[in-house]
Chain A
Amino acid sequence: MFVIHCPYCGKREQSEFKAGGEAHIVRPKQPTELSDDQWAEYLFMRKNIKGVQFERWVHAHGCRKWFNMVRDTSNDEIKAIYKMGEKPPRKL
């Protein structure tokens, strides 16, 4: 079980958090302009890699804030945590 550093509350047990899938997938501004394939790309396609993955997490049993997390799925090492809207750190 991880210890996650919530950017608003500090270090907490993983059980307080919920994972929300891949990060940096922006909802299209004009969905109606998209073809079925383009929409499907947004809707369904998610990475599931062994290695460094960008994820969304929420401090569900805490401040309820969403944030981004960079995690190596092969060893669960958390490489970075940053707020929503912020860019991932260049060096990981």
Chain B
Amino acid sequence: MTNNLRVKSSKFIDETYKISFKFNNKTYYGYKGDTLASALLANNIHLVGRSFKYHRPRGIMTAGSEEPNAIVQLHKNTSRTEPNVRATEIEIYEGLEASSQNCWPSVNFDLGGINNFLSPVLPAGFYYKTFMWPASFWEKYEYFIRKSAGLGKSPTEPDPDIYEHKYIHCDVLIIGAGISGIVAAKTSAKNGFKTLLVDEKPHLGGSTIYQNSEHFKINNQISSSWLEKEINEIKKIDNLEIKTRTSVAAFHGYNFLLARENLTDHLPLHQRNEKVRHRLLKIRAKKVISATGSLERPLVFDNNDRPGILLSSAIEKYSNLFGVACGQKNVLFTNNDSAYETAISLFQKGINVEAIIDNREEVDSKLVKEIEKNNIKIYKGYTVVNTFGYKKINKISIMQLSKDGQKVVGSKISIDCDCLGMSGGWTPAVHLFTQSGGKLKFRDDDQVFIPNKYPSDQISIGSCNGEFTLDEILTGISKKLKDFLNIKKTDYENLEIQSHFNKTKRNIWLLPSDKIIGKTKPFVDYQNDTTAKDIKLALREGFRSIEHVKRYTTTGMGTDQGKLGNMHALGIISETAGSRMGELGTTTFRPPYTPLTFGTIVGRNVGEYFDVFRKTPIHDWHVENKAKFENVGQWKRAWFYPKENESMHEAVQRESKAARDSAGILDASTLGKIDIQGTDASEFLNRVYTNAWSKLAIGKCRYGLMLNEDGMVYDDGVTTRLDENHYIMTTTTGGAATVLGKLEDYLQTEWPELDVYLTSVTDHYATISVCGPNSKKIVSKVIPEIDLSDEKFPHMSFKNAKIDKVKCRVMRISFTGEQSYEINVQANYGKSVWDKCMQAGKEFNITPYGTETMHLLRAEKGFIIVGQDTDATMTPIDLQMDWIISKKKYDFIGKRSLYRSDTIREDRKQLIGLVTENPKEVLEEGAQIVADANKSPVEMLGHITSSYYSPNLEKSIALGVVKGGKNMIGRKLIIPMENKQIKVTVTDPVFLDKENKRLNA
């Protein structure tokens, strides 16, 4: 047998450009223009992989993106290796290395092949049925099942390639550059529309471009010659952008589409450096023309999956476009005229066609006549009943179909062959159309779903619209385009078309066999090894919905998403269930049409660009001083500052002690700040906070609690009255944006009569908090002009001041329970004021502390953190903060909800303090709180929300929420842990300085 099946040169293949590549570690040669599949076929390699479940040998079946079998692992390199690459799409390049998937030790000798012989005991739903009993064993089964699941290997190292996203706006997008797409593109662009034409293949012209038959002519020219001239013309049009190797992945509402442009996968490796590999195009088109073509259907008969069995149209493409013969003894099996086109193409190239098996009894088109003229045997009214040859087909047996097509009659005839082409007619590629929300209708004549209702400004033309023959495509296209684009004239008004294709077809979804169905393997989904038998079994077991049958049998769930077999699955279901095909509907077509790499989806948003993060003006100082950071919202906040070999615990204990014993300093710049101005500012605050604001004097600060309308705590913070009609509100770091959004919402939609203006000034100010018994001395050194005496500047008050010439706002407010001052300066002075404070505080051992120490200090004082001690089910009463709810105010957000039947329940979870029996034992945040751990079931009373070891109290402290906790002070409760039960006592949540002596000192 010859090893080179290259038959005749093709103009799409550059035979002067030889390329070497490796497949399963062996070196082969191909030419520029080859796909991996065509190059392998030229080397007489059909066996490319093993099937998923039965590990059956599988070969190349198609010549396009619908390929279910010939999927390979590309590259050996661990960072670039890529599984499930379709050999029919990847263009060969110097250095390409591919290998078979789903086989061990090799594709030729695969131990998993034993599953093929076990197949009688591996029916649909095998895993569901077998591994359920006993239920507790699933974890043991799972390990082995996971090992055998999945196809190919994913890379283990980060992807070194570059990907990017690009937005495109155009008047008209045309998907598919076959003959209809080319005609549409030229018409659209020549009429002044900004037009984008995309096609997944590297060449334009679809399948027409490589047809070379006298039977198909346009204006007396062979269709491919005519089309070539059109293509040459459109390349010169300015307002037409053409993108090849660009596959539309998704078609969303409002004509928003995603496409992947493949820029480097066809280049030799050394030419790819620094280049963008894939580009995700985000296309917004005013109008969309789908010209996505159609996919040839396989036929469903016993052993229809052997290497050497291809789609008839694929055989034609390999011969005409790549100059490759798929076999030397070809047999074609068809139910329509398409296979005759293939036969004529092969014949013209001198490739031997042994016979054509045709389901139809009467056929007499010009195509058929030409075949007969050339003495090729046609078996009319016959079907293939079986195929032979383990790793490559070598024989088929055929039988005559009964009149009704339900069974076979007569005796078997054997035919030797090394390649079988099958054609079950054509399925319009309506995937993108339905993704966009389009509704299909079923055409009974030739059993196809075609577009019916368009959800947006779009049309489908050509074979994706069920127009399969050249005359069907071209006769109506001019009027269609004129109506759609609203133009008067096209270049395609009076085309003279000659097409000898006869449309009659004999559609039998599951071809009959001389064996009972249980003894046959007629594959419907090749990749997932679903046979007609599995589908019938699902129906017998009671599944009716196509969506359920799909999931139970996994048909259509492979990487090819059932592009070939879904129609047959539908057909077999409707025939078996006795329903009409159109009534069943289809399974949902979901994006992407063909798989996308993760790189394409992510684009440039990798590494530090994965998410935006915000830095305070003092960030660099924290970095220099070895701070560990924590993410709070989008902010990077200093978490703690370990010295030398300090652990986190040691650092936090040191920081916490220093802040209470002498002085601490905190970068609080991340707190949300909202500037509130207007004559109704006080009234506005009255409505959004639970407490009263009208009487707050200018220059004073007040803590406020904000609720949702359902009465649950939403945010908190201190607001300062800067002037009669001017306040500055602080919010939690994470809540800043949503609080502003909520306030704006009320202002614009509920209370538009209020004269209030809100401005976010979070980024405008740096906020430095100096706290501790020595804070007064330090701040007075930094801002000597202010009288910091308790009489002149008491707790909860504010003053404007200047540091050198820089204006600042100083508030005496405290989140730690210590005397403390917050200095707000214009952000770009933040670092220098911080430095000044550090300098001034040196003699007092001023200690920078991070968020962890801040949390510890406030917990000692029993101050809540919204979002840590609360979880959107806590009212202020649950938090024992009744004091903050104004009794006098008629209304505020959430007030009415505070006395709903549910919110006044006594047994709601309420905030309490907890101390452990052993003061050294620190509780785990999130741990459950129970009264009796031996009761069954254990009644869960609540959980721990905050827990620390307090260096200042020298004991473990915790905050938690407990059902009816308010009345449980002094009760002993239990924290059940994995190996022990920890005894705790309920206390007041304020652990330190209940009298606020430190604050006012």
Contacts and interface: CB of A to CB of B under 8 A. Distances in A.
Interface string A1-13: 1110000000001
B709 interface: yes
B284 interface: yes
A32 interface: yes
Residues of B in contact with A, size category: 20 to 34
A92 interface: no
A84 B864 CA distance: 37
A37 to B, nearest CB: 10
A64 B254 contact: no
B610 interface: no
B256 interface: yes
Contact of B752 (A32, A43, A56, A85): A85
A27 B688 CA distance: 14
Contact of A27 (B437, B750, B900): B750
B374 interface: no
B897 A75 contact: no
Contact of B254 (A39, A65, A76): A76
Contacts of A58: 741, 744-745
A2 B900 contact: no
B555 to A, nearest CB: 29
B896 A39 contact: yes
B897 A32 contact: no
B453 to A, nearest CB: 10
B750 A1 contact: no
A92 B900 CA distance: 39
A40 B900 contact: yes
Contact of A36 (B256, B437, B900): B900
A74 B849 CA distance: 54
B74 to A, nearest CB: 32
A31 B745 contact: no
B252 interface: yes
Interface string B743-783: 01100111010000000000000000000000000000000
A62 interface: no
Given A1-B252, A43-B709, A64-B744, A32 B749 contact: no
B25 to A, nearest CB: 46
A32 B900 contact: no
Given A39-B900, A43-B710, A43-B897, A32 B891 contact: yes
A84 B749 contact: yes
Nearest to A29: B891
A30 B709 CA distance: 14
Nearest to A38: B896
A49 interface: no
Given A2-B254, A20-B745, A31 B891 contact: yes
A38 B254 CA distance: 40
A1 B253 contact: yes
Interface string B885-919: 00000110001110011000000000000000000
B734 interface: no
A17 interface: no
A66 interface: yes
Contacts, number: 53
A32 B253 contact: no
Nearest to A4: B254
B284 A56 contact: no
A2 B284 CA distance: 10
Given A32-B890, A43-B897, A75-B455, A2 B253 contact: yes
Given A32-B895, A32-B896, A43-B709, A66 B437 contact: no
A34 interface: yes
Contact of A84 (B710, B741, B748): B748
Given A20-B745, A36-B900, A3 B895 contact: no
B540 to A, nearest CB: 35
Interface string A35-62: 0100110010000000000001010100
Contacts of B710: 43
A70 to B, nearest CB: 16
Contacts of A60: 741
Contact of B749 (A31, A40, A66): A66
Contacts of B891: 30-32
B709 A66 contact: no
A36 B284 CA distance: 48
A65 B748 contact: yes
Given A32-B891, A56-B749, A84-B749, A1 B897 contact: no
Contacts of B750: 26-27
Contacts of A3: 254, 284
A58 B741 CA distance: 9
Contacts of A32: 890-891, 895-896
Contacts of B256: 1
A36 B710 CA distance: 12
A81 B897 CA distance: 32
Contact of B895 (A31, A40, A64, A85): A31
Nearest to A78: B254
A41 to B, nearest CB: 12
Interface in B231-286: 252-254, 256, 284
A56 B741 CA distance: 13
Contacts of B896: 31-32, 34, 39
A20 B748 CA distance: 13
Nearest to B453: A75
Contacts of B709: 27, 43
A4 B557 CA distance: 35
Contacts of B284: 3, 13
A30 B896 CA distance: 9
Contacts of A34: 896
B432 to A, nearest CB: 16
Interface string B281-293: 0001000000000
Interface in A65-91: 65-66, 75-76, 84-85
B116 to A, nearest CB: 46
Contacts of B897: 39, 43
Contacts of B252: 1
Residue among B252, B254, B890, B900 with the highest chain A CB neighbour number at 10 A: B254
B893 to A, nearest CB: 9
Interface in B390-422: none
B748 A66 contact: yes
B454 to A, nearest CB: 11
Given A20-B745, A31-B896, A40-B900, A75 B752 contact: no
Given A2-B253, A31-B891, A66-B745, A36 B455 contact: no
Nearest to A68: B749
A39 B903 CA distance: 13
B709 to A, nearest CB: 6
Contacts of B749: 56, 66, 84
A13 B255 CA distance: 12
12 contacts: A27-B709, A27-B750, A32-B891, A34-B896, A39-B896, A40-B900, A43-B709, A58-B741, A58-B744, A58-B745, A66-B749, A85-B752
Given A20-B745, A43-B897, 5 more contacts: A3-B254, A34-B896, A58-B744, A66-B744, A75-B455
Interface of A: 1-3, 13, 18, 20, 26-27, 30-32, 34, 36, 39-40, 43, 56, 58, 60, 64-66, 75-76, 84-85
A-B pairs, 5 with minimum CB distance: A31-B896, A1-B256, A66-B748, A27-B750, A76-B253
